[in-house]
Amino acid sequence: MKTRLTLKPGQHGTKTLTKKYGDALVCVRFRYDPETNERIKTVELVVERSDWTPPRPRITHNTLVPLRIKATDMATRNKAKAAGGRWNPDKQLWLVPYGQIVGTPLEKYIDVDGFDNKQ
């Protein structure tokens, strides 16, 4: 089954459901089942709201994070170096302060297996 359309409350195709569920309506999805040739309309509803305090980040901005970058990817290696990264030949990883790469394309190169157990 494949979801082909997701609508927010108030969009064309959700008006009657918005009237029915009000602020509890999060979205309406249209799913298609090729085996039965059916279109299925589903709704996502809020059933409970409560206070929540987000946990402290596990990685602070000054924590050194390991990046695994291929040796042939010079452009990415130069970006890691420009962000203050240092090459660790023992681990074969770049170590870069997290605050320098958070929200950048370098963030996807973080190697979770490369973290020290001490951190």
Counting every residue, how long is the chain? 119
55 lies in some domain:
no
- Nearest-angstrom CA–CA distance, 19 and 6: 18
Render pLDDT for 21-41 as a digit per residue (tens, 0 to 9): 999 999 999 999 999 999 999
pLDDT at 119: 43
- Number of domains making up the chain: 2
**Alpha-carbon dihedral of residues 106, 118, 84, 59, nearest 10 degrees?**
50
74 lies in some domain:
yes
Asked whether residue 68 falls in the same domain as residue 106, the answer is yes
Expressed as residue numbers, the domain containing 73 is: 64-114
Asked whether residue 70 falls in the same domain as residue 104, the answer is yes
Range of weakest confidence among 77-81, 104-108, 110-114? 110-114
Asked whether residue 69 falls in the same domain as residue 108, the answer is yes
52 lies in some domain:
no
What pTM, to 2 d.p., does this model score?
0.52
How deeply is 93 buried, as exposed, middle or buried, from its count of CB atoms within 10 A (0-12, 13-18, 19+)?
buried
Asked whether residue 98 falls in the same domain as residue 69, the answer is yes
